[in-house]
Structure formats: structure tokens, C-alpha cells
Amino acid sequence: QLYIPRTDVVSEAPEDGESIALATGRGESVLVVEDDPALRNMIVSFLQKLGYAVRAASNGSEALAIAQRAGSIDLLLSDVILPGDYSGPELADEIAARVPAIRILLMSGYAADALERRATSARYATPLQKPFSMGKLAQEIRAALSA
């Protein structure tokens, strides 16, 4: 038997103006760079279901190799703090030098003030703060690609 508690609490509206309908992809290519394998796999699976062509890497060096082999990349979605030789902003600078039209969306689990001390480039807006909902991620990716 399964017991489920009964409640009179009414469900709240979605956070941050998040709508029920998710912003879907139009076949755009997204390079996801995240060192946490569980989060990386979840993001890749979610973006593929939304209609994006997704490639994934666990660090900056791997991401650069993918970027060099790829025909085109429309968006780089990268964690700010990465293991290895590159931070997210440094990686974004390297890839943007090779693919000038690429859109950049950074994400981080660090507080905003800690990011200001650690980020190497002021070129990028405040990163998408982890944890985030998949709806928020879809919304931010669509906004970045539409900018």
C-alpha cells in the first residue's frame, strides 16, 4: 500500500514568471560544458527533447576539441568553474575567438559576489544561478539565442 498525505494547500504559480509551455529549440547546436556528470546528462537529455542538437564536454580542453571539430555551434552553455586549464569565461573567450557569432550562457553554483572575484572576464552577464529549473534553463537559452 502507498499512503499519500492529503493537503489543502493550493499549488503556487511557477517561479520567475516561468510558463508551463517550454521554449523549444529549432535545431540550434548547443555545446554543454559541465563537470558534474549527472547534471551534464540531465541538461543534455532535456535540451535534446526540446529540439536542440547537443554536444557535451566535462572540461575546457574537451570543449575546445569539440568546437574545433564541429561544423558550427550556436550556443555555449558552460559552468563558470571548471576543472583543468580553463574557467568558463576563459573557455568562452577561446571559443568566441574561433566562432565569433556564438552566443554564450554561463551557469554557476557560486554566489554572485564570489563570482565577481573569480570570473576572469567582465564580457559576460551574471551567470544562470544553480540550482535552476529546467523551465528557467529553456527560457534563458531561448533568450540567449534570440538576442
pLDDT (tens, 9 = 90+) of the chain, 147 residues, equals 777 777 666 555 555 554 456 788 899 999 999 999 999 999 999 999 999 999 999 999 999 999 999 878 999 999 999 999 999 999 999 999 999 999 999 999 875 554 554 444 445 666 899 999 999 999 999 999 998
Here the cell at position 86 is: 580553463
**pTM of the predicted protein model:** 0.80
| Ramachandran angles phi, psi of 128, nearest 5° | -65, 120
Return the closest-CA partner of residue 50 out of 34, 70, 32: 32
- Parallel/antiparallel/unpaired status of strands 128-129 and 75-79: unpaired
Q: How far apart are the first and last CA of the chain?
A: 52
- The tally of CA atoms less than 13 A away on the side-chain side of residue 10 is 2
Starting at the earlier edge strand, list the strands of the sheet with 53-57: 53-57, 29-33, 75-79, 103-108, 128-129
Here the cell at position 29 is: 547546436
Cα 70 to Cα 31: distance, rounded to the nearest angstrom? 10
Whether 32 contacts 55, CB under 8 Å: yes
